[in-house]
Amino acid sequence: MPEKEIILKKCKLPALPHVALKVLQVVNNPNTKIADLHRLISRDQSMASRLLMIANSAYYGLPRKVETISDAILLLGFDTVKNIAVAVATKDLYKTKSLIGQKLWEHALGVSVASGIICKYQKVNTEITPEEALVAGLLHDIGKTVINNNYPEMYEAVFEMVYNDKIPFIKAEEEVFGYNHQQVGELLFSEWGFSDEMVEIVAKHHRRHDIDDLNLKTLCTIVAFSDCLNARLGVGYAEPMITLCEDEAEFMDYFNFDIEEVEGIIEEFKARFVLEKLEFLG
């Protein structure tokens, strides 16, 4: 692996988006009240919409609709709100006017949606919550965006290698740059002061077998399985990428899913992703 200093010389890391920084400051203040957080989130339509969407999702099965941000904060808790805020704010890093930027965001959103659904049905580790999976899925490939923002023309060559040679992004990135998006994501989240768990997710979502902690390994496997399903469906790609789904049988075995259950997850994903895409991609 290239030394940290070598990567940082070649790849400039962005600052944490302003909205996310403000939310982190507020939730980390022991004197913060719900009204303070409500006031801040209300100023950001995407964040407010995302909070209400998750609070009203099927993951919670609530008897009534959550209609206010205050109720959503009470239901989800400060830590979850913090993670969602950071995740939503990262959209600012994507250059959505470019085709590659749009594809990267679409894939991140797709993996987020599928991760939440997989988490809802998996029984390996019930300590992991769907919102944790949602956030992990949305952020797992952040390193791709950082590299693309630094070297858009060279990253276009990476996309072409993935499509033409049917190889994983990591292999193509290492051939073009000498480092990969996992390493860049790890450096970025370390710089931003993210939790050790989230740093490990972005650093090892393609190396889940190297993770010892059961909770973290299960969360990383959820994200990896979701990544696989999105590649199979072509979400964030120009076409379905079946060759990137070689581990699908291993994922099914890990979660003890049968074919019918996976097909049900895919159908639920398709329906939910349409709604999410309308919300975030316009």
100 plus 76 within the same structural domain: no
Whether the pLDDT of residue 58 is over 60: the answer is no
150 plus 189 within the same structural domain: yes
44 plus 128 within the same structural domain: no
Whether the pLDDT of residue 194 is over 90: the answer is no
Give the end of a domain, one of 55, 75, 92: 92
Mean pLDDT of 130-150: 90
74 plus 126 within the same structural domain: no
81 plus 156 within the same structural domain: no
245 plus 158 within the same structural domain: yes
- 110 in a domain, yes or no? yes
216 plus 281 within the same structural domain: yes
Whether the pLDDT of residue 139 is over 80: the answer is yes
141 plus 192 within the same structural domain: yes
- 3-state DSSP of the chain: CCCHHHHHHHCCCCCCCHHHHHHHHHHCCCCCCHHHHHHHHHCCHHHHHHHHHHHCCCCCCCCCCCCCHHHHHHHHCHHHHHHHHHHHHHHHHCCCCCHHHHHHHHHHHHHHHHHHHHHHHCCCCCCCCHHHHHHHHHHCCHHHHHHHHHCHHHHHHHHHHHHHHCCCHHHHHHHHCCCCHHHHHHHHHHHHCCCHHHHHHHHHCCCHHHCCCHHHHHHHHHHHHHHHHHHHHCCCCCCCCHHHCCCHHHHHHHHCCCHHHHHHHHHHHHHHHHHHHHHHHC
The total number of structural domains in the chain stands at: 2
63 pLDDT tier (thresholds 50, 70, 90): low
pLDDT tens digits, residue range 210-248?
A: 898 989 999 999 999 999 999 999 998 888 898 888 788
- 1 in a domain, yes or no? no
- 7 in a domain, yes or no? no
110 plus 245 within the same structural domain: yes
Per the CB < 8 A criterion, the answer to whether 89 and 43 are in contact is no
pLDDT tens digits, residue range 85-132?
A: 777 777 777 766 788 988 998 999 999 999 999 999 998 887 888 878
- 190 in a domain, yes or no? yes
- 145 in a domain, yes or no? yes
Give the end of a domain, one of 40, 63, 92: 92
> Distance (Å, rounded) from C-alpha 91 to C-alpha 88?
6
Whether the pLDDT of residue 1 is over 60: the answer is no
Q: Which of 38-52, 168-182, 203-217 is most confident? A: 168-182
114 plus 144 within the same structural domain: yes
- 21 in a domain, yes or no? yes
Domain range enclosing 200? 94-282
What predicted TM-score, i.e. pTM, was given to this entire model? Answer: 0.85
23 plus 82 within the same structural domain: yes
- 9 in a domain, yes or no? no
CATH of the domain at 143: 1.10.3210.10
Q: Which of 10-19, 124-133, 153-162 is most confident? A: 153-162
Whether the pLDDT of residue 59 is over 60: the answer is no
103 plus 80 within the same structural domain: no
> How far is CA 19 from each of CA 91, 92, 111, 140, 268, rounded to the nearest angstrom?
11, 10, 23, 20, 31
Give the end of a domain, one of 40, 70, 92: 92
- 186 in a domain, yes or no? yes
